[in-house]
Amino acid sequence: MTSVLIVDDEQIEREGLAAILRKGFPDLAIEQARNGRVALQMAEEGFRPDLVLMDIKMPGMDGLETIERMSAVDPDIRFIMVTAYDAFDYARTAIKLGVKDYLLKPSKADEIIATVGRVLRQIEEERREREASRQQITALKKVLPVVETDIVTQLLYDHVHDVHLDELVDLLGVSTASEMFAIVVLTPAGEEQKYAEVKARIRKTGVGLVGALSGGQIPVIVFRDPVRSYRS
């Protein structure tokens, strides 16, 4: 559920905005804060709204400072500036802080609905993009072990296919500019579980790539650090 926080030191303003939003967006979860300090405290204690309608002129911590500090707590929070002042300096500072839009007091209900709706659609699009990115990262993590064994096979046996070796190496974030050599780790019969241990150790040290276990042998391509000996 998408959540909205209304921050204003005037209760009648908060209630009026809340009533308009409930009518225009029945599925919204709406919370209120009477000033910037309360809003910041809510964010620091775990309430992370998707959108904040932030009054700019408030006693104590004003809206711009609150936006800056809430953004530091959670950069994904989006803001609409609510102000009675159509001042350039406010707008310029707000843009730097990542404010998505603004509402002037007083605004008609249809203007509020249109502005909030526009930002909510942006939030939903950003949410879909983050989810797609997360899924891509998850899929990449699953395929990286296959990429690693393929690289070792190409380096050992000069296999060639459609994906160039350099492109595969880039996926792993490994530089092949260093001197390379191969070693083979022999595993005792019946102790194939050693393969996972060897891979974990080499991945931890970051010294090379591990190929597929075959016939009790684990091929490893080692990228030599010039300042260290072969034995080390």
Domain boundaries of the chain, sorted by first residue:
3-133, 140-223
Specify the CATH number of the domain 3-133: 3.40.50.2300
- pLDDT tens across 35-52, in order? 999 999 999 998 889 999
What's residue 85's pLDDT? Answer: 67
Q: In what order do the strands lie in the sheet with 3-7?
A: 29-33, 3-7, 51-55, 78-83, 101-104
pLDDT at position 87: 57
The 10s digit of each residue's pLDDT in 180-224 is 888 999 988 888 788 889 888 888 887 888 998 888 899 998 887
pLDDT band at 96 (very low <50, low <70, confident <90, very high): low
Q: Pick the more confident residue, 173 or 156.
A: 156
The percentage of residues in the chain with a pLDDT greater than 70, rounded to a whole number, is 86
- State the helix-helix crossing angle for 63-73 and 88-96, rounded to 10 degrees: 10
pLDDT at position 224 is: 78
- Per residue in 132-151, pLDDT (tens digit) is 888 877 877 787 788 888 88
Q: What is the pLDDT of residue 151?
A: 81
Report the pLDDT value the prediction gives residue 22, as an integer from 0 to 100. Answer: 94
Q: Is the pLDDT of residue 86 over 70?
A: no
Residue 93 pLDDT level (bands cut at 50, 70, 90): low
What's the chain's average pLDDT?
Answer: 84
